[in-house]
Amino acid sequence: MDTFFQTPPKIENTYLNDPLLKSLIKASFSSHKDFAAIESQFARWGQLATTEWLELSHSANLQRPQLIPYDPWGNRIDHIQTSDAWKKLEAIAATEGVVSRAYAREYGEKSRISQMALLYLYHSSSALFSCPLAMTDGAARVLEKLGTTTEQKNAFKYLTSRDPKSFWTSGQWMTEKTGGSDVSLSQTEAKRNGDWYSLYGMKWFTSATTSQIAMALARTEGAKSPNELSLFFVPLRNEKGALNNILIHRLKDKMGTHALPTAELTLNGTPGQMIGPEGQGVKTISTILNITRIYNSICSISQARRSLDYLQSYSKVRFAFGKLIIEQPLHKKLLFDLEAQFARLFNLTFFTVSLLGKEEAGTISESEKKILRFITPVTKLYTAKKSYAIIAECIEGFGGAGYIEDTGLPTLLRDMMALVIWEGTTNVLSLDLLRSLKDPVTFEILNDKFKESKNVDYQSRWQKYAKDIQTDPINGQAHARDLAFLTAELYSESTF
C-alpha cells in the first residue's frame, strides 16, 4: 500500500528570510533613531505575509467578483460584488499605509523605499489588491501636484487615509476598443458642462472598477488633433451612491488576476473635472504612469521572490535520486543562478525607487531627474520579463506538482503575465526609452555610464546602438528592445 505523501513547501517570515531586503532596510535606515522599531515593523509584516495576508489572498482568489446588473425589482444597479477576503485586504492596505506612507514622508527621501519595501512584502499575499493601490498612489500624486478644486483636494485626503472607513481607491481608465498603448485612437469625448465636463465613450479594460474615483482620458470638443487628449477626475458615484451615468457591461474573463474585478463600461454623460492643461492629458497622466510602472516592478520582483521561496523550501524536503534535491549539483547551480538573477532585479528596482523618493523630497539632482525619466520604463519592462522567466523556472523545478492548480503555483505564473503587459508592453516601453534619448543631455548621461562600465561587451554593444540611434532611425528603433535590456543590465550591477 502506498503511504508516501510529499511534504509541501512552506514559506516563513518573508522579511527575516530575505537577506536582500534586510540589507536594503539596514542601509537605508540604520542611522535613524528608531531603527530597531523600523526593523521590528518589517518583521511583523514579513510574518503577516505568510499567515493572515496569505490566507486572505487564497480565499479571495477562490471567490471571484460577480457583476449584479439588476436589483430584485428590476432596477439597473451594475453592482460588483467582491469577497469579504478582498475587502479585508483593502482594509489592511489602508491601516498599514501601503499608499499613505509615501505621502507622510516620515523618512524624507527614503520614504518611498520604506513604502515600496512594504508593498514588496504585501503584494504576493494580496490577491493583486496591489493593482488598485498602484492606481490610487498615481492618482494621489497627480492630485497632490495638480489638484485645484475642493473635490480634488478632498479626494487626495481620502486616497492617502489610513482609516479603512474613509480610505478611497482610484481607477485609471485609458484603454478603449481601439487599443491600449496608442491613446491617440481614443474615442471618448468630453463636453463642457459649466465648470465640469460630461464624458461619453466606452472604456474596454477598467481595473479597480469598485473604486470611488477614476482618472480618465478624453478628447474635448476643441481638440485640434488626435493626440490632444485631456485628463479628467471622475467621481464614480453621486450623493445617493448610484453610479454617475456609468453602465457596466461585463467583467473580463481573464487568464489570471481572478480576484481583481476588471470591467467593460460605458460613460454616458459621466461628470468629470479636468486636471492639468487642456489637450495635455498624455503628459499629465505620465505622473501616474511613473508611479504605476514602479509599482509594477515591485510587484514583479515580489512575485519572483515568492516563487523562489517556495522552490527553496521544496528543495529541502523533496528527496529524489538518492538525496534531497538541494544537494543535487545541477539543481543547486540552478538555484544559485536564479538567486543571482533576482538580486539584479531587486537592485535595479530599488535604485529606481530611491530616485523617485529623491524627486518627491526635492533632493534630486538634474542628472538624476534625467535618469529617473528613462530608467522607470526600463525597470518595468526588465523586471517583468525576467520575473516571468524566474517564476517559470521555479514551477518547472517542482516537476508535475508545479502544474497542479490547487498548489497555487500556476497562479503565480498567470498573474505575472498581467504584469508583463500592464503599463506598457516590452516594445512600447523600449520605444519610450528611445524618446527620452532624443534629449542630448540624457543621451550623454547614458553614454558616460556605459563608458564607465568595465564590461567590454556592454561598451561595444552600446556603441553600435548609439550610432544607429543617431544616424539611422529605423535601425535605431529595431535595436530599442536590445538597448533597453542592456541598459537594465548596466544599472542592475549597483548594490545598496
What is residue 224's three-state secondary structure? coil
Architecture of domain 170-282: Beta Barrel (2.40)
pLDDT band at 495 (very low <50, low <70, confident <90, very high): low
CATH of domain 283-491: 1.20.140.10
Overall average pLDDT of the 151-164 stretch: 98
What is the distance between the alpha carbons of residues 277 and 367, in angstroms, rounded to a whole number?
26
Overall average pLDDT of the 131-144 stretch: 98
pLDDT band at 180 (very low <50, low <70, confident <90, very high): confident
Q: Residues 6 or more apart from 255 whose CB is under 8 A from it?
A: 414, 417, 418
Q: Residues 6 or more apart from 192 whose CB is under 8 A from it?
A: 220, 221
% of the chain with per-residue pLDDT over 90: 92
Q: Residues 6 or more apart from 477 whose CB is under 8 A from it?
A: 431, 434
Domain ranges of the chain: 19-159, 170-282, 283-491
- Residue 496: pLDDT above 60? no
Q: Which amino acid is at 225?
A: S
DSSP string, 131-167: HHHHHHHHHHHHHHHH--SHHHHHHHHHHT---TTT-
Q: Which amino acid is at 59?
A: S
pLDDT mean across residues, the chain:
96
Q: Residues 6 or more apart from 1 whose CB is under 8 A from it?
A: none
CA atoms within 13 A of residue 438's CA, in its CB half-sphere = 7
What is the distance between the alpha carbons of residues 140 and 186, in angstroms, rounded to a whole number?
24
DSSP string, 393-428: HHHHHTGGGGG-GGGSHHHHHHHHHHHHHTT--HHH
pLDDT of residue 49: 98
